[in-house]
């Protein structure tokens, strides 16, 4: 009896093993969403991928790191089990051996006999003579091809990328910047405004299938921050312009967006998801603070239309009382303390990378008949121009009291300050002043694909006319480009930072050319001219 039971057990075991082997052979595994690295320190790096299989069983993935592309010598390796609760994403924080820190290394993933493509990355160097970063913002998949990503992936002089937000957009087909999506076969997936966890995961997945985005992520480490569209347009701490009551709880939507974000992005997850500000210290050369201006503390944006009566009268006193309220936050007390604790000395360039423009900007005089031809939501420009108001209250112009606090902290110690922004889709080079004292230069990157200011006027005003008028109106604005898509690079050396605004000539075709729109040399304590 015991022998019979033993043989039965053996038979069942063989059958079980056989079924597992058969299942393993039959399962199709792919790395269709590419690979990525990010959030480098001087000793470690985040490695990321996503494993796609034709069933929902758990997957054990292996990562390997080598100092050579042939992977002859493995300098770090490990395993990571992923499942549907992580949307089958794989994210590991890899400690790099001392001998290979600050040098180019290569990585790949394996799962069930399938190997991913090979990526290149590096930890932060400790004694560099120069360090070059590339800045990206506003990459709207339906609006056009990510040629800017492709161009940057081919530039071997770039050491690190920073995406300052709007990595993806939440809209459905037929809404913002989707006019050419069908022609380009870039319709948003899913075809709805994304609100649920599954929606956000699907949208991230679509973006990560883009070959140019994959090329960028596999070529350099990236530091990434969200802006509003990773959640929904004009988001603030407790709501958003593009979130309505019939779309459910904003808090739940926000948490859905962030869960998908931390699954799909090559970034470390902080203990509190909303407090996603970070520091990247590149020896004594560059000290980068990547800030968060949307979800942790931001007060609701001022809606200018609330201060315009039906008769068209502007309620000036009420507007300025609200605008100058000292309780209005963009960064909040805790993040301001982070800035204060991490203000570097004059030895390193202190770089503050964040989402929205720091400089104050006003619109030049634009004829009313032209404004009348703009969408209804832009009709408030008439009041902005007539009353000489800041035009973008979603940026720092809507939070002047906290901007003053921020600049006092930043300027208290360091004289080598540089501010970086995205959000506007346009190029800007500004002098940042506090009480007529120069604090640092601000550089804002153009969008990867999202339409710029000149496109909003549909040819009614030429981009050159608008650019010249903006510079005449704003004395601290030293250069702008309102027409081109692209990205920004900054090459840091101890006493000079060389900036290049790089444009692609088209986003409607994968056949593109690049050009340098503007080169700016930045030296400590010197205003832009």
Percent over 90 (pLDDT), the chain: 88
Query: Mind listing the pLDDT tens digit for each residue in 445-455?
Result: 999 999 999 88
Closest CA to 439 of 326, 342, 527, 320: 527
Residue 72 in this model has a pLDDT that exceeds 60: yes
CA distances 321 to 297, 384, 397, Å, are 20, 17, 14
- The arithmetic mean of pLDDT across residues 389-398, rounded, is 97
Q: Which phi and psi angles does 81 have, rounded to 5°?
A: -95, 130
CA distance 100 to 445: 32
Strands 437-444 and 427-434, by their bridges, are: antiparallel
CA distance 32 to 19: 27
- The arithmetic mean of pLDDT across residues 500-519, rounded, is 98
Task: Report the chain's mean pLDDT, rounded to a whole number.
Answer: 94
Percent over 70 (pLDDT), the chain: 95
pTM of the predicted model over 0.75: yes
Assigned token pair, 77:
């390796």
Residue 17 in this model has a pLDDT that exceeds 60: no
Query: Mind listing the pLDDT tens digit for each residue in 296-344?
Result: 999 999 999 999 999 989 999 999 999 999 999 999 999 999 999 999 7
Residue 198 in this model has a pLDDT that exceeds 80: yes
Q: What is the pLDDT of residue 172?
A: 98
Element (H, E) at 455: helix 453-456
pLDDT range class, residue 1, cuts 50, 70, 90: very low
- The arithmetic mean of pLDDT across residues 23-30, rounded, is 71
Unique residue bearing structure tokens 């790096």: 45
Residue 25 in this model has a pLDDT that exceeds 80: no
- The arithmetic mean of pLDDT across residues 203-226, rounded, is 98
CA distances 366 to 140, 305, 379, Å, are 28, 19, 12
Q: What is the pLDDT of residue 182?
A: 98
Residue 21 in this model has a pLDDT that exceeds 80: no
CB 362 within 8 A of CB 393: no
CA distance 357 to 423: 8
Q: What is the pLDDT of residue 19?
A: 39
Q: What is the pLDDT of residue 329?
A: 98
Domains of the chain and any CATH numbers: 29-123 (2.60.40.380), 126-522 (3.60.21.70)
- The arithmetic mean of pLDDT across residues 107-127, rounded, is 98
pLDDT range class, residue 11, cuts 50, 70, 90: very low
Query: Mind listing the pLDDT tens digit for each residue in 54-64?
Result: 999 999 999 99
- The arithmetic mean of pLDDT across residues 160-186, rounded, is 98
Q: What is the pLDDT of residue 190?
A: 98
Q: What is the pLDDT of residue 26?
A: 62
pLDDT range class, residue 414, cuts 50, 70, 90: confident
CA distance 236 to 300: 6
CB 419 within 8 A of CB 358: yes
CB 486 within 8 A of CB 512: no
Residue 3 in this model has a pLDDT that exceeds 80: no
Q: What is the pLDDT of residue 24?
A: 45
Residue 256 in this model has a pLDDT that exceeds 70: yes
pLDDT range class, residue 456, cuts 50, 70, 90: confident
pLDDT range class, residue 458, cuts 50, 70, 90: confident
CB 253 within 8 A of CB 231: yes
pLDDT range class, residue 468, cuts 50, 70, 90: very high
Which region holds residue 180: left if phi is over 0, alpha if psi is between -120 and 50, else beta?
alpha
């Amino acid at each position: 009896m015991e022998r019979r039971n033993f043989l039965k057990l053996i038979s069942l075991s063989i059958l079980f093993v056989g079924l597992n082997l058969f299942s393993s052979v039959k399962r199709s595994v792919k790395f269709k969403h590419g690979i990525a690295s990010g959030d480098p320190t001087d000793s470690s790096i985040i490695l990321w991928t996503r494993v796609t299989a034709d069933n929902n069983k758990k997957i054990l993935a292996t990562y390997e790191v080598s100092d050579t592309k042939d992977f002859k010598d493995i300098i770090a390796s490990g395993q990571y089990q992923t499942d549907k609760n992580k949307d089958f994403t794989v994210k590991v924080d890899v400690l790099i051996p001392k001998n290979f820190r600050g040098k180019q290394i290569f990585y790949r993933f394996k799962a069930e006999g399938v190997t991913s493509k090979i990526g290149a990355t590096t930890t932060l160097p400790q004694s560099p003579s120069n360090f070059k970063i590339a800045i990206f913002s506003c990459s709207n998949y339906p609006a056009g091809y990510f040629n800017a990503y492709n161009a940057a992936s081919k530039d071997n002089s770039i050491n690190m990328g920073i995406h300052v937000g709007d990595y993806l957009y939440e809209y459905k087909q037929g809404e913002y910047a989707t006019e050419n999506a069908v022609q380009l076969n870039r319709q948003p997936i899913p075809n709805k405004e994304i609100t649920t966890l599954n929606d956000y995961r699907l949208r991230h997945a679509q973006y990560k299938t883009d070959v140019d985005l994959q090329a960028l992520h596999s070529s350099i480490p990236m530091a990434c921050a969200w802006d509003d569209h990773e959640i929904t347009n004009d988001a603030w701490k407790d709501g958003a312009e593009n979130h309505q009551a019939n779309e459910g709880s904003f808090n739940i939507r926000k948490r859905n967006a962030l869960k998908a974000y931390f699954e799909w992005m090559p970034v470390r997850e902080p203990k509190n998801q909303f407090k996603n500000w970070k520091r990247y210290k590149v020896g004594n050369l560059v000290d980068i603070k990547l800030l968060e201006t949307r979800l942790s503390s931001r007060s609701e944006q001022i809606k200018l239309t609330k201060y315009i009566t039906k008769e068209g009268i502007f309620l000036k006193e009420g507007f300025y009382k609200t605008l100058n309220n000292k309780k209005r936050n963009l960064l909040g007390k805790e993040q301001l303390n982070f800035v204060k604790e991490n203000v570097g000395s004059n030895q390193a360039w202190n770089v503050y990378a964040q989402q929205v423009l720091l400089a104050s900007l006003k619109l030049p005089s634009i004829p009313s008949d032209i404004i009348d031809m703009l969408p209804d939501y832009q009709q408030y420009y008439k009041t902005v121009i007539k009353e000489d108001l800041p035009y973008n209250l979603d940026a720092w112009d809507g939070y002047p009291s906290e901007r003053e606090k921020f600049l006092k902290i930043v300027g208290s110690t360091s004289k080598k300050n540089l501010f970086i922004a995205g959000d506007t889709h346009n190029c800007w080079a500004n002098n940042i002043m506090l009480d007529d004292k120069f604090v640092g230069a601000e550089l804002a990157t153009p969008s990867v694909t999202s339409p710029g200011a000149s496109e909003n006027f549909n040819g009614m005003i030429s981009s050159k006319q608008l650019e010249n008028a903006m510079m005449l109106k704003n004395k601290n604005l030293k250069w702008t480009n309102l027409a081109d898509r692209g990205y920004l690079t900054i090459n840091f050396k101890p006493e000079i930072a060389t900036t290049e605004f790089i444009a692609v000539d088209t986003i409607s075709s994968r056949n593109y050319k690049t050009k340098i729109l503007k080169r700016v040399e930045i030296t400590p304590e010197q205003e832009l001219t």
